[in-house]
Amino acid sequence: MESESPTETKKGKSKTPKKEKESILKQKSPAEFFAENKNIAGFDNPGKCLYTTVRELVENALDSAEAISELPVIEITIEEIVKSKFNSMIGLVDRERVDEELYDDYETAKAREKRLAKEARAQEIQAKNAAFGKKVKEHAVSKSSKGRGEASFYRVTCRDNGRGMPHDDIPNMFGRVLSGTKYGLKQTRGKFGLGAKMALIWSKMSTGLPIEISSSMRGQNYLSFCRLDIDIHRNIPHIHLHEKRDNKDKWHGAEIQVVIEGNWTTYRSKILHYMRQMAVITPYAQFLFKFVSDAPDKNVTIKFARRTDVMPPVPVETKHHPSSVDILLIKRLIAETSKQNLMQFLQHEFVNIGKPLAERLIGEMGPEFSPKMAVKSLTDQQIVRIHQLFRQAKFDDPSGDCLSPAGEYNLRLGIIKELHPDMVATYSGSAQVFEGHPFIVEAGVSVGGKDVKQGLNIFRFANRIPLLFEQGGDVVTRTALKRISWNNYKINQTQDKIGVFVSIVSTKIPFKGTGKEYIGDDISEIASAVKSAIQQCCIQLKSKIVKKMQAREQQERKRNLSKYIPDASNAVYNVLQEMAKSHASKKKRYEEGDADILQKVSDHLITKETLYEKLTQHVEKVDYEMALEYATQTGVREEPREDIYLQSLDGKGNFFDFHSPIFVFRLFL
């Protein structure tokens, strides 16, 4: 019998391994990358996608209005779209199920019987609890009642009165990822510059429907309308319709409409909380939020009215600080600069480098460097030398002139408008620096208020936008919980209703994690500035609380004294009567002044009623004197008040604003 060939298997197949295919080098476009990693931009799940879409559209609208110094008026609408309506929008005919067992939400007769029995027992327990007056919990909806494929769809529309967009730029502004006008070094809202582009990507992934944009700029007699989606693989816009239409109302701004998959039920509170916090930090804006559903009881309409017309200044673009740059950035600045020699480059492209310092730096770099050498001729080694010197040399800190904080005035107004606290204190710190980037911390602490829970209620803002997620690791949360001794400021951390508001603005917010939702606790400069700002607010509040406690104690003393006036007047009058009898019978003689009083008692010129009236007047006098002293220290806030009628102004005249932490004085010319 012949032996089997070693190159053959028992089945006669060859054992020789197949030759692997050669690996092919592939590239991904930015749009494709963010589509596959959408969680980086805050699109983690349908509910978070709905929240992030609202957030991006609102922040873009605010930026657009503020860029032309227009008081923002923003309307945001979320319209629920039922499955049948969505199918008709995409041209899909509804189809009845044929094979029920094929679907995820299918349940067998036995499982259904078991579920119904469980629900019946739960209802029976609820009925018993209700009969005994116990709190009844709502019965949880069974998981099987909604399958995984039963998605919810929403049309999100955001309309503003901002700058608008040039007609020809609209396709690239929405259909090309990582293209925009906000990539300079300045304080900006947003995280990646994705804005509505990420909402468009999510729309394409979840519904396949395009985004619709209407826009018009000031003075234009036409309105630009564009319907487009994005070519994910090529990162270019796919335009369905792009045309000019009549602008009869002379409206300027933008209206963006996108249909996406989402979850309103689970993220309703987050979206409303975001809108409320945005109204706190931007009291000069007017927001109208609507949720529209086929079920009228689900509809929501909330208007956040404007409280002031004083807007923070528009953030300005600044230059890089030498201590904050890396080698790649230096190379990019060299490639983009219009300056010819090294001396001009150092002075023009960086802050805090004047001519004398530039000469000293070039001298320190070595003999191969000279002020007149062509900056474009620098070698890689020479660029590394410049970078090393930038990291080691001492430079003045950058100023905070390029930053645009909300301001104590606006922060205070926002807190009062939305929370209605019993008392509030605000503080705005001076500009500080971390890693060459300036930052400013503003804080507000309130006590009491409407719809405020007991304990610490922490509100965080970065570049004037609310941060709602990942609160536990944030520098503001950790500072408020662990580094502030609230009892030292007469504030009860567990029982009082405390609002802690901290706003940080900077040319670079040091976010942690991919979600960009919290600021780490590891930057000592920011942690120290946050603690100091909160403490300054607490010191102000302590003074108010102590005075309020003194006023309360004074009122208590007045009540106690007033309670004993009848008994005291009776007792004193009885003693005076006995003394008058002794004086009249000459058993005991009194001096002239006392004798006169006793004679008046005998003649009934001094009675119980007289004593009662005098004691009451004395208590009132002491109360008035203490109240007057309290009022002069704190400022009169209650009666008396007078009505003041001011002539209305059209607001078109020239004026100057004089800012104070608690008011703005406007002088019209």
CA dist., res. 226 & res. 257, Å (int): 11
Tell me if 303 is assigned to a ligand binding site. Answer: no
8 phi/psi in degrees, rounded to 5: -115, 145
CA distances from 555 to 311, 366, 518, 543, 544 (A): 42, 78, 46, 18, 16
Structure tokens at 244: 């000019």
Tell me if 339 is assigned to a ligand binding site. Answer: no
SS (H, E, C) 104-121: CCCCCHHHHHHHHHHHHH
> How would you classify the pairing of strands 152-159 and 253-262?
antiparallel
Tell me if 38 is assigned to a ligand binding site. Answer: no
CA dist., res. 35 & res. 210, Å (int): 15
Tell me if 181 is assigned to a ligand binding site. Answer: yes
Tell me if 395 is assigned to a ligand binding site. Answer: no
Tell me if 516 is assigned to a ligand binding site. Answer: yes
Tell me if 658 is assigned to a ligand binding site. Answer: no
76, with CB counted inside 10 A (0-12, 13-18, 19+), is: buried
CA dist., res. 277 & res. 297, Å (int): 25
CA dist., res. 308 & res. 313, Å (int): 14
Tell me if 444 is assigned to a ligand binding site. Answer: no
CA dist., res. 83 & res. 73, Å (int): 32
CA dist., res. 509 & res. 325, Å (int): 16
Angle between helices 380-392 and 327-336 (to 10 degrees): 120
Tell me if 319 is assigned to a ligand binding site. Answer: no
Q: Could you tell me which of 241, 247, 244 has the C-alpha nearest to residue 227? A: 241
Tell me if 160 is assigned to a ligand binding site. Answer: yes
Tell me if 194 is assigned to a ligand binding site. Answer: yes
3-state SS assignment for residue 184: coil
Tell me if 190 is assigned to a ligand binding site. Answer: yes
Tell me if 443 is assigned to a ligand binding site. Answer: no
- Residue set of the binding site for ATP: 60, 160, 181-182, 190-197, 516
- Residue set of the binding site: 60, 160, 181-182, 190-197, 516
